[in-house]
């Protein structure tokens, strides 16, 4: 029965590609206690960076090489004025959201070779959720349709989704940019890498179905209402995504805002072997906590009514929704712990991994030249290895 539920859900579900709402805020708190990020970097356009890096073909060739939407533009949202310094942490925080701005949208139209039939379970080939396969990774595999005449769905243990690979790709690009003396794009690529890593801290991005509590039967009780179930999953997915950011807003959000800050701020990091393994392990840990958090979310958030199911995002992203939750937590703090405690664990783990990735990337920054003793001729500094931060 659980396998049938999972299959029925995945045949029609359109997973939400977004994970934590406002990666920028999450990232800013996670990196708050890394002082070197207060140093400045000088913004430059992507074209300027690629030209200086001697990459043939310019931006068009580069975007196709990394297989992102070739129509993507790169807005300035970190307070940049090109040529004027900006804090490295401002760049990393602001652009941690950038992969949700269109980089991964409609990719199968431009790169049909990316399509796998199994992606029908992860957003599909058309529509707004086509980017989901880039922002998810199911390490435990998934249920697929049975081959006729069999009727029992088959569990495929093959992991599905590209989030770890994207984390690794942009981590490598960040280190390359840092090492060659282009810290602005080092920071911006690092922000993109962080985005995919942070996505995997949200259990809805690391498993096919967090809990069967989201499943809704048809009125006669004889089968699964796939459409309704899909909307229920979307509602709870969006609610969990938005809780860390929106629950702490407004005059009554202080206690929850303080709790989120405590979850995210710190200096702890973990051993690093590669960006790929860091992200894959994040998904394994997250998937292991999916059922606990999913069931707690089903009990914690209001059961979605017809209006919420018709427009899950329209219901979740309202001041009234979050104000009512703040009141519920204040009225029953002990009862809220069943949801808040596993959420704390997810946020804390995500922050530790974010710091680990950033600290490792910063090792690619060329060392500043040592001060010269009086009377000694200064040694020339290689043009491609200037101090990172100015």
For residue 192, give every residue at least 6 positions away whose Cβ sits within 8 Å of its Cβ, in sequence order, or none.
Answer: 95, 96, 98, 99, 103, 166, 170
- Is pLDDT at 386 greater than 70 in this prediction? no
Separation of first and last alpha carbons in the chain: 61
Residue 338 located in a structural domain: yes
- Average pLDDT of span 17-32: 89
Crossing angle of helices 275-288 and 163-179, in 10° steps, is: 150
- Is pLDDT at 77 greater than 50 in this prediction? yes
Q: Residue 121 — very low, low, confident or very high, per pLDDT cuts 50/70/90?
A: confident
Residue 38 located in a structural domain: yes
- What is the per-residue pLDDT across 165-195, written as a single tens digit (0 to 9) for each? 999 999 999 999 999 999 999 999 999 999 9
> Rounded to the nearest 5°, which phi and psi values hold at 353?
-70, -35
| pLDDT (0 to 100) of residue 61 | 96
Dist CA 86 CA 43 (whole Å) = 7
Residue span of the structural domain in which 268 resides? 2-364
The whole-angstrom distance between residue 234's C-alpha and the CA centroid of its chain comes to 17
Beta-strand pair 142-144/154-156: antiparallel
Confirm if 355 and 266 have CB atoms less than 8 A apart: yes
| pLDDT (0 to 100) of residue 175 | 98
Q: Residue 226 — very low, low, confident or very high, per pLDDT cuts 50/70/90?
A: confident
Percentage of the chain exceeding pLDDT 70: 89
Q: Residue 381 — very low, low, confident or very high, per pLDDT cuts 50/70/90?
A: very low
- The 3-state DSSP class for residue 388 equals coil
| pLDDT (0 to 100) of residue 304 | 96
Residue 135 located in a structural domain: yes
Residue 133 located in a structural domain: yes
Residue 236 located in a structural domain: yes
Residue 55 located in a structural domain: yes
For residue 18, give every residue at least 6 positions away whose Cβ sits within 8 Å of its Cβ, in sequence order, or none.
Answer: 100, 135, 241
The number of folded domains in the chain is 1
User: In which element (H, E) is residue 37 found?
Assistant: none
Q: Residue 239 — very low, low, confident or very high, per pLDDT cuts 50/70/90?
A: very high
In angstroms, what is the C-alpha Rg of the chain?
A: 22
Residue 160 located in a structural domain: yes
Dist CA 226 CA 153 (whole Å) = 16
Q: Residue 155 — very low, low, confident or very high, per pLDDT cuts 50/70/90?
A: confident
- Average pLDDT of span 203-231: 88
Dist CA 173 CA 165 (whole Å) = 12
Confirm if 389 and 178 have CB atoms less than 8 A apart: no
| pLDDT (0 to 100) of residue 382 | 32
Residue 212 located in a structural domain: yes
């Amino acid at each position: 029965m659980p396998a049938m539920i999972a299959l029925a859900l995945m045949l029609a579900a359109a997973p939400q590609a977004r994970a934590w709402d406002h990666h920028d805020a999450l990232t800013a708190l996670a990196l708050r206690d890394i002082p070197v990020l207060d140093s400045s970097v000088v913004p430059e356009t992507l074209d300027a960076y690629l030209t200086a890096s001697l990459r043939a073909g310019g931006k068009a060739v580069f975007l196709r090489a990394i297989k992102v939407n070739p129509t993507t533009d790169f807005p300035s949202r970190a307070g940049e004025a090109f040529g004027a310094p900006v804090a490295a942490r401002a760049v990393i925080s602001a652009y941690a959201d950038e992969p949700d701005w269109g980089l991964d949208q409609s990719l199968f139209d431009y790169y049909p070779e990316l399509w796998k039939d199994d992606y029908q379970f992860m957003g599909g080939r058309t529509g707004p959720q086509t980017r989901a396969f880039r922002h998810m990774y199911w390490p435990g595999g998934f249920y697929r349709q049975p081959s006729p005449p069999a009727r029992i769905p088959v569990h495929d243990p093959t992991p599905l989704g590209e989030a770890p690979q994207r984390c690794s790709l942009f981590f490598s690009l960040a280190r390359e940019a840092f090492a060659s003396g282009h810290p602005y794009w080092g920071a911006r690529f690092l922000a993109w890498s962080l985005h995919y890593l942070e996505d995997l801290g949200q259990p809805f991005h690391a498993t096919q179905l967090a809990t069967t509590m989201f499943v809704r039967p048809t009125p006669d009780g004889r089968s699964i209402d796939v459409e309704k179930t899909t909307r229920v999953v979307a509602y709870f997915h969006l609610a969990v995504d938005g809780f860390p950011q929106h629950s702490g807003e407004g005059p009554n959000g202080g206690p929850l805002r303080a709790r989120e800050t405590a979850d995210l701020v710190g200096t702890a990091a973990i051993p690093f072997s590669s960006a790929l393994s860091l992200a894959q392990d994040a998904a394994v840990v997250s998937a292991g906590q999916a059922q606990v958090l999913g069931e707690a979310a089903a009990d914690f958030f209001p059961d979605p009514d017809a209006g919420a199911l018709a427009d899950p995002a329209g219901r979740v992203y309202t001041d009234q929704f979050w104000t009512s939750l703040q009141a519920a937590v204040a009225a029953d703090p002990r009862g809220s712990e069943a949801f808040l405690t596993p959420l704390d664990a997810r946020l804390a783990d995500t922050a530790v991994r974010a710091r680990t990735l950033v600290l490792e990337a910063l090792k690619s920054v060329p060392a500043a030249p040592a001060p010269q003793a009086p009377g000694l001729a200064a040694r020339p500094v290689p043009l491609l290895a200037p101090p990172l931060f100015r």
